[in-house]
Amino acid sequence: MFEAKYCNIENYQKIQQLLQGKDCTLVAVSKTKPAAAILELYQQGHRDFGENYVQELVEKASQLPQDIRWHFIGHLQTNKVKYIAPFVHLIHGVDSQKLLKEVNKQGAKLNKKIQVLLQVHIAQEETKFGFNTSELDQLFTIPELAQWNHVQILGLMGMASFTENRTLVQSEFATLHQLYQELTGRQLPQTNMEVLSMGMSGDYELAIEQGSNLVRIGSLLFGARR
């Protein structure tokens, strides 16, 4: 019998059961956890993993199976895009025009389209990164975007306030869902709205209720981080 050392397989199965039939993807957030922890879930058939730090992601990707879909969910610095561009599946945290432009540049070098989500600032906290609605509107009107053929904007990502106030979290998720739907109805360059990435260990059920179709879960699967 296979004994899991790093993963809570019971939680994994419970979450997968809940997501089944809801058309919602689970990204297992493995930041700070060893490659062996990722392999445990891989052996359960899981392929979508999320990482926050470029160097850590590059190291893990070089040690682990090629068919893992790597999601970069952290804050990405412009000068580090080149390290993950060759293999990353989806960059969740694109939060400025400058970063999007750089992703396009690296995509062009590799002659491929890099898939991204635009991070939207929905929390009350000042510290969370992301576009606000007017910055997002502005992005979609810049003429250069039509030329950035090496990015594919697949949707939006957001993080709710870190609070016990469920009503607040719910309304922040609802706001993002509404924005997602508005954009889905528009013809926008390089854009194909398919993914709404919201919800973590503490709030993923609320996020799904509010229309999330991708949740990013770490501690429920791999335990608390240092």
Per the document, the length of the chain is 226
* Shortest distance, position 109 Cβ to ligand PLP, whole Å: 27
* Shortest distance, position 201 Cβ to ligand PLP, whole Å: 3
* Shortest distance, position 66 Cβ to ligand PLP, whole Å: 24
* Shortest distance, position 219 Cβ to ligand PLP, whole Å: 3
Label residue 130 left, alpha or beta by phi (over 0 means left) and psi (-120 to 50 means alpha).
left
Nearer to ligand PLP, 138 or 165 (CB): 165
Give the residue ranges of DSSP H helices in 20-53. Answer: 35-43
* Shortest distance, position 185 Cβ to ligand PLP, whole Å: 27
Nearer to ligand PLP, 42 or 53 (CB): 53
Nearer to ligand PLP, 155 or 218 (CB): 218
22 CB-contact burial (10 Å; exposed 0-12 / middle 13-18 / buried 19+):
exposed
* Shortest distance, position 191 Cβ to ligand PLP, whole Å: 21
Which residues share a beta bridge with 191?
153
Round the CA-based radius of gyration of the chain to a whole number and report it: 17
Measured CA to CA, the distance from residue 81 to residue 99 in angstroms comes to 8
Give how far Cα 133 sits from Cα of 120, 138, 178, 203, Å.
8, 9, 11, 23
First-to-last C-alpha distance (Å) of the chain:
29
Nearer to ligand PLP, 145 or 220 (CB): 220
Tokens 């790597």 -> residue: 70
* Shortest distance, position 61 Cβ to ligand PLP, whole Å: 18
What is the number of the residue whose Cβ is closest to ligand PLP?
218
3-state secondary structure of 149: coil
Nearer to ligand PLP, 55 or 147 (CB): 55
3-state secondary structure of 98: helix
Nearer to ligand PLP, 75 or 105 (CB): 75
Nearer to ligand PLP, 145 or 217 (CB): 217
Which residue ranges make up the site for ligand PLP (CB under 6 A)? 29, 31, 52, 73-74, 159, 200-202, 216-219
